[in-house]
């Protein structure tokens, strides 16, 4: 039997579980693991500037390609607590990432040693497993179980905490005979699928809701095939955007409070049956449940049994992986089509398409004003970036506006921190996506506040030649938070502007992002006028390809400095309902 340190065994297991890239920062308590990576070889290491940034890079890396599992590594104490936001984001969106932390020696764990914190207790509510491995011989089993859990059932993150003496201890381990544990995923039965199809066929105006579980299961092609067989229009959720192309005849648009289209809300209100696959019925999608559920029959298919009935009780629930269910849905639909028992949905689908082209439902995007209105930015992004573009973003008005106006055509081409929405997520997540897909066109989108949260990670892109384009829409205040404050009749502590005496060209917008980006090794362009947006985006794409670094395009947006709490904000009046509608009933949101 081969002898090696427990840290070396962990590295060998990572490679045999399909890991080839690790994001992290070395430190005293994790140095034995780094020594094993150096000695054993086979893993690329990307040096982050902040451990939270490393965790978001790992999530972006996972989400870029089916089968990926991102790994982030840090030392003891603050490194683990810095990962908590990343664990929350990954857990909330059902994304598997593995966080590895160093720890004080086992004998010191109860002595309040330097940077010795009980990180598993902190991380446990946000993970599928969080453990400090106390026995060196248990390290291989802990890593094997970690990958098994991350891939089984509803995906999610795991944290493994390794005391320094455990890492350094020698154990017997034969990597050549190591075998990953098979993942468990619940699968629908044919009887369940037939029951669900009976309900769908009995409806007159059915819809399919496609959630992030369809993306996780790599089942988008099956979803489209099923929709085409049955003729049923599809509403993707924010996490499921791209599972059916935006230009597909059966795409009905997104429903909800913020990231929606008006025509999609109208179509939903006209429906009488909803089949949800791999979705959570998130509140930004549903609005008030009374309006959302009234007059409709619901079937819910989800990989997590306890998710069914969590938000509201469906008429029929199926615990199943999305791919397993859709394989049976397609097979059953083909049989019914051959037998001539599938209803004709062509008239209903045509009505849904008509709503999409109704001028009353089409938002205006072409504004020539200076400073730039945000709508024009998304119009130009659609014009410049093609269907292969992978968009990365998190929370804020920029995300809401993008979801209303951008076009997405492929699964894993809209990568968004949906439920947690941590500010600062966009930049490191984009680096993770671009690391996983180095030849892809990766475009990140941020407001100025999101951008400033973790902008130091731009240096990672410069150091490791990770190119992508970052569109930065700058209005110099916290737009979404400012909207929410209207309910409190205030405009307080949300302004980011100041007169920068070192950069008078910024004109009271505060931080000179161009200088900051260039100081961190990237390239940057600034745009003041609408006609300059498209040329800047084209130039950014060329610069990223030529220099292999992040390239930022900052667009200076209009600002509203004097706000009457009883009036609309000029900057957002094309994007209703406002954030305040989150606490209102769905008739406001879905009208």
| Residue 15 Cα distances to 10, 20, 180, 182, 385, angstroms | 9, 6, 11, 16, 35
- Strands 3-5, 170-172: pairing kind: antiparallel
| Residue 13 Cα distances to 87, 177, 178, 488, angstroms | 22, 11, 8, 54
Is the pLDDT at 581 greater than 60, yes or no?
A: no
Other Cβ atoms within 10 Å of 291 Cβ, number: 18
Is 134:160 a contact under the CB 8 Å cutoff? no
pLDDT digits (tens, 9 = 90+) for 216-227: 999 999 999 999
Neighbour-count burial of 176, counting CB atoms closer than 10 A to its CB (0-12 exposed, 13-18 middle, 19+ buried): exposed
Please state the pTM of the whole predicted model.
Answer: 0.93
Bridge partners for 298 per DSSP: 274
Q: How far is CA 295 from the centre of its chain?
A: 32
Is the pLDDT at 274 greater than 90, yes or no?
A: yes
Q: What is the pLDDT of residue 561?
A: 59
**Tokens at residue 372, please?**
């730039």
Q: What is the pLDDT of residue 568?
A: 35
Q: What is the pLDDT of residue 432?
A: 98
Helix, strand and coil percent figures for the chain, each rounded to 5: 45, 15, 40
pLDDT band for 23, please (50, 70, 90 cuts): very high
pLDDT digits (tens, 9 = 90+) for 99-149: 999 999 999 888 888 878 999 999 999 999 999 999 999 999 999 999 999
Bridge partners for 318 per DSSP: 301
Order of strands, sheet of 297-302, starting from the edge strand that comes earlier in the sequence = 234-236, 206-210, 273-277, 297-302, 316-319
Share of the chain above pLDDT 70, in %: 94
Share of the chain above pLDDT 90, in %: 81
Residue with structure tokens 């320094």?
164
From the list 98, 46, 45, the residue with the least C-alpha distance to 68 is 98
From the list 200, 209, 196, 193, the residue with the least C-alpha distance to 243 is 209
Q: How far is CA 447 from the centre of its chain?
A: 16
Average pLDDT, the chain: 92
Helical axes 220-230 vs 322-339, angle rounded to 10°:
30
Other Cβ atoms within 10 Å of 362 Cβ, number: 12
Q: What is the pLDDT of residue 560?
A: 67
**Tokens at residue 432, please?**
């993770």
Q: What is the mean pLDDT of residues 542-568?
A: 79
- Provide the b/e sequence for 71-97 (b: ≥16 CB within 10 Å): bbbbbbbebbbbbbbbbbbbbbbbbbb
Q: What is the mean pLDDT of residues 398-405?
A: 92
pLDDT band for 246, please (50, 70, 90 cuts): very high
Bridge partners for 161 per DSSP: 101, 132
Pairwise pLDDT comparison (182 vs 483), residue with the higher score? 182
Task: Specify the 3-state DSSP secondary structure of 435.
Answer: helix
pLDDT band for 579, please (50, 70, 90 cuts): very low
pLDDT digits (tens, 9 = 90+) for 182-193: 999 999 999 999
Domains within the chain, CATH numbers bracketed = 3-177 (3.40.50.970), 190-359 (3.40.50.1220), 374-573 (3.40.50.970)
- Least confident among 23-37, 171-185, 480-494, 516-530: 480-494
Is 497:508 a contact under the CB 8 Å cutoff? yes
pLDDT band for 435, please (50, 70, 90 cuts): very high
pLDDT digits (tens, 9 = 90+) for 300-327: 999 999 999 999 999 999 999 999 999 9
Q: What is the mean pLDDT of residues 442-464?
A: 96
């Amino acid at each position: 039997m081969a002898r090696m340190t427990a840290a070396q065994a962990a590295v060998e297991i990572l490679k045999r579980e399909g890991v080839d890239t690790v994001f992290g920062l070395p430190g005293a308590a994790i140095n034995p693991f780094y020594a094993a990576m150096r000695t054993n070889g086979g893993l690329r290491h990307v040096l982050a500037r902040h451990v939270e940034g490393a965790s978001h890079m790992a999530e972006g890396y996972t989400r870029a390609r089916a089968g990926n599992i991102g790994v982030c590594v840090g030392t003891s104490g603050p490194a683990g607590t810095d990962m908590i936001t990343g664990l929350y984001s990954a857990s909330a969106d059902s994304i598997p990432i593995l966080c590895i932390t160093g720890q004080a020696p086992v004998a010191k764990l109860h002595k309040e040693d330097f940077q010795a914190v009980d990180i598993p207790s902190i991380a446990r509510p946000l993970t599928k497993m969080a453990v400090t491995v106390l026995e060196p011989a248990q390290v291989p089993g802990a890593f094997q179980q970690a990958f098994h859990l991350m891939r089984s059932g509803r995906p999610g993150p795991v944290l493994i905490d390794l005391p320094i003496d455990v890492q350094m201890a020698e154990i017997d381990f034969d990597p050549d005979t190591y075998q990953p544990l098979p993942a468990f995923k619940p699968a629908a039965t044919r009887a369940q699928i037939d029951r669900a199809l009976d309900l769908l066929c009995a409806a007159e105006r059915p819809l399919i809701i496609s959630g992030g579980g369809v993306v996780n299961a790599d089942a988008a092609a099956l979803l489209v095939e099923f929709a085409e067989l049955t003729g049923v229009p599809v509403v993707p959720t924010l996490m499921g955007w791209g599972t059916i192309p935006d230009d597909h005849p059966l795409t009905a648009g997104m429903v909800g409070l913020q990231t929606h289209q008006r025509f999609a809300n109208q179509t939903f209100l006209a429906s009488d049956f909803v089949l949800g696959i791999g979705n959570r019925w998130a509140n930004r999608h549903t609005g008030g449940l009374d309006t959302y559920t009234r007059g409709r029959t619901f079937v819910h298919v989800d990989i997590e049994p306890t998710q069914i009935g969590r938000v509201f009780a469906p008429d029929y629930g199926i615990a199943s992986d999305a791919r397993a269910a859709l394989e049976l849905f397609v097979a059953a639909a083909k049989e019914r089509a051959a037998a001539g028992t599938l209803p004709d949905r062509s008239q209903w689908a045509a009505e849904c398409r008509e709503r999409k082209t109704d001028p009353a439902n089409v938002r205006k995007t072409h504004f020539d004003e200076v400073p730039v209105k945000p709508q024009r930015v998304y119009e130009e992004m659609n014009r410049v970036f093609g269907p292969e573009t992978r968009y990365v973003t998190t929370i804020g008005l920029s995300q809401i506006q993008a979801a209303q106006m951008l076009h997405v055509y492929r699964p894993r081409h809209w990568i968004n921190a949906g439920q947690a929405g941590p500010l600062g997520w966009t930049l490191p997540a984009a680096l993770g996506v671009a690391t996983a897909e180095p030849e892809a066109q990766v475009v990140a989108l941020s407001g100025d506040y999101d951008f400033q949260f973790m902008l130091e990670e731009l240096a990672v892109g410069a150091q490791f030649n990770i190119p992508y384009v970052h569109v930065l829409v700058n209005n110099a205040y916290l737009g979404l938070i400012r909207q929410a404050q209207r309910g409190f009749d205030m405009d307080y502590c949300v302004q980011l502007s100041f007169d920068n005496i070192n950069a008078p060209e910024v004109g009271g917008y505060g931080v000179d992002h161009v200088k900051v980006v260039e100081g961190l090794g990237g390239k940057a362009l600034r745009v003041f006028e609408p006609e300059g947006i498209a040329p800047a985006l084209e130039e950014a794409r060329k610069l990223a390809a030529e220099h292999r670094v992040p390239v930022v395009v900052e667009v200076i947006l209009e600002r509203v400095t004097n706000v009457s709490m009883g009036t609309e904000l000029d900057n957002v009046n094309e994007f209703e309902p406002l954030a305040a509608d989150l606490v209102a009933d769905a008739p406001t949101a879905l009208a």
